[in-house]
Structure 1
Amino acid sequence: MGEETGHRVCGRTLSEADLAAIRVEIALADPPNRAEIARRVCRRLDWRNAKGEAKLMSARVGLLRLHRSGLIELPEPTTRNNNGLPLKHGPKRWPQERAFSGSVGALSGLRLSPVAEKARSRLWNGLIDRYHYLGYSPLPGAQLRYLIESEQGLLGALGFGAAAWKVAARDRWIGWERETRERHLGRVLNNARFLVLPWIRVRNLASRVLALAARQVGEDFAERYGERPVLLETFVETPRFRGTCYRAANWQYLGCTQGRGKCDVAHRAALARKDIYVYPLSADFRRALGVEG
């Protein structure tokens, strides 16, 4: 696996001893289903977040990846999910397309509303699936999702998920070596989705939303997961976008990706290159990310 050791899944490196322990828990699970196996594995490997809660979703995703790699054998799923099928869970009723134009100062009550209830989750998923150029896919790892709202109505959607595993320009800028990155990557959040609805034409709205997010996500993430992020990152596909709103919101440009993707073992650039932007949430973010001096 190149420079990595063990089997890396969902932010955790599993040794051969860990895999052996997982196989034991699979054999002992009662009832013998994937949910119970994930609970047992979290207990056995102490797979928890900063609040001490079992990371069941990460465990289930990681176990499925190990199963598909042939490293473990999971029982057949007891229920069918919609993975790989077209998105079916948009909102029961789509919001009215209320066109609004002008300057951001003309908006009243601009806010980022956290997505918590099921109905709002369906709305967020549906908006991203219908209007975002990347479409909907579940955000990786620990995440925060917001609806962008004002007194004038719904304006868009914003989502943060787990940081990219390796980014050469970002890691050099932080000063990360591999082991330090592995220990502290969870304190970096990736702005994976940003959508302003196509009928909203408000000057400077995007940069204002990013400024709101910079003030809000640290507290929201700490309340939900028990750990405060110290750095935000995002990747802007070029030449489709220019990153203007990130620059206007004082995000720092670090360079561009190599366009290879995490599965490019042949080192052949095949994906779109993306500009890399970061935004520190604290002055001592490098120290919080394990870099001294």
Structure 2
Amino acid sequence: MQTMIERQRFCGRDFTADELLLIQDVVATCGGISRCELALTVCELLAWKRPGGGLKARECKDLLELLEGKGILKLPEKKRTGKNGPQKSIAEAACEEPFSRLAGSVEDFGSLDVERVETREQRDLFRDLVTRYHYLGYAMPFGARLQYLVSVSRPRHEVVGCIQFSSPAWRMKARDNWIGWDDARRAAALQQVVNNSRFLVLARIRNLASTMLSRTLGRLGSDWRRQYGIEPLLVETLVDRQRFHGGCYRAANWIELGETSGRGRMDRANQRHGAAIKTILVYPLVKHAARRLRDGR
């Protein structure tokens, strides 16, 4: 858009021209998600929160509509819904009993069936499984997302895993150093990075985890382009080193880059440094992914 972007004061906050350019980029690159999801994403990136810590999503939606009225950005059409926003459910503790009693080697169970979560029934099943069996529980991710259910075909059709991909972390020192981009390139190309934000294996089947990763990554690029009109170049994930080694990622040829500071995505005040350190791993979906993210070609 050609509209000149200037500092904007709204709801008691001054938004700089750089922040407005970031909002413009997020709206332009996150096609396919709702206005509510855009508002949550912008609030998260700019740490626009209430005193109690909640995101100012309602105010942000009003700001987005104001900016649209000024010709700074173009929002997606409003969606009809009976809910007031993304529903969030966090499990207090994951179940210790396995969901599936299947055991053996992945080759014993036929080819894996990877289904993208699209129907209401699939969404309910995915949410229920992740809520009950993942140590972090289920939470509606901010921004873009794709979810998959993975099943075996014999001795019967049975779900054995769940995988979720969503919007990337805004900043991670080890990742950003590996790519070698500056702030301007990161703002322009960040949406070509996808985060593997949930990974759940529901059966004690040897090599199941790495096979699940390989199968879903094989179709992630085309599914993401179809949904959002963006070519993903790199996938990232964070592994809690106190709980997991991350061997399945390494077996699937992911690259370990280092560790997080432990702050978390929302700790802009650096108050939780070192509290939850995680290992950063990435998987290039294309050749020369770092160069393409850094140079734009």
- Give the alignment's TM-score, normalised by structure 2: 0.72
Measured in 1, the distance between the counterparts of 2:220 and 2:57 equals: 37
2:281 is the alignment partner of 1:272: no
Letter in 2 for 1:176: W
Structure 1 residues 63 and 19 mapped into 2: Cα distance closer, same or farther (>3 Å)? farther
How far is 1:278 from its partner? 0.3
**For the Cα contact (< 8 Å) 1:67–1:73, is it kept in 2?**
no
2:108 is the alignment partner of 1:106: yes
User: Which residue is equivalent to 2:227?
Assistant: 224
Q: Deviations over 1:252-286 (max 9, x none)?
A: 00111111224152455252110010000000323
Measured in 2, the distance between the counterparts of 1:81 and 1:292 equals: 35
User: Which residue is equivalent to 2:120?
Assistant: 118
Alignment partner for residue 129 of structure 2, among 127, 130, 134? 127
Q: Mind listing any 5+ residue stretches in structure 2 that lack a counterpart?
A: 12-23, 62-81, 92-97
How far is 1:119 from its partner? 1.3
Alignment partner for residue 35 of structure 2, among 43, 56, 65? 56
Q: Deviations over 1:112-161 (max 9, x none)?
A: 21000011101101111100000111122111100011213110100001
2:169 is the alignment partner of 1:164: yes
Q: Mind listing any 5+ residue stretches in structure 1 that lack a counterpart?
A: 1-13, 21-44, 88-95
2:187 is the alignment partner of 1:182: yes
2:250 is the alignment partner of 1:247: yes
Structure 1 residues 79 and 232 mapped into 2: Cα distance closer, same or farther (>3 Å)? closer
**For the Cα contact (< 8 Å) 1:124–1:147, is it kept in 2?**
yes
User: Which residue is equivalent to 1:201?
Assistant: 204
Q: Secondary structure at the match of 2:135?
A: coil
Identity of aligned residues (%): 35
Letter in 1 for 2:134: H
Letter in 1 for 2:212: V
Q: Secondary structure at the match of 1:289?
A: helix
Q: Secondary structure at the match of 2:295?
A: coil
CA RMSD of aligned residues (A): 3.6
Q: Is 106-115 or 60-69 further displaced after alignment?
A: 60-69
Measured in 1, the distance between the counterparts of 2:43 and 2:256 equals: 36
Structure 1 residues 155 and 111 mapped into 2: Cα distance closer, same or farther (>3 Å)? same
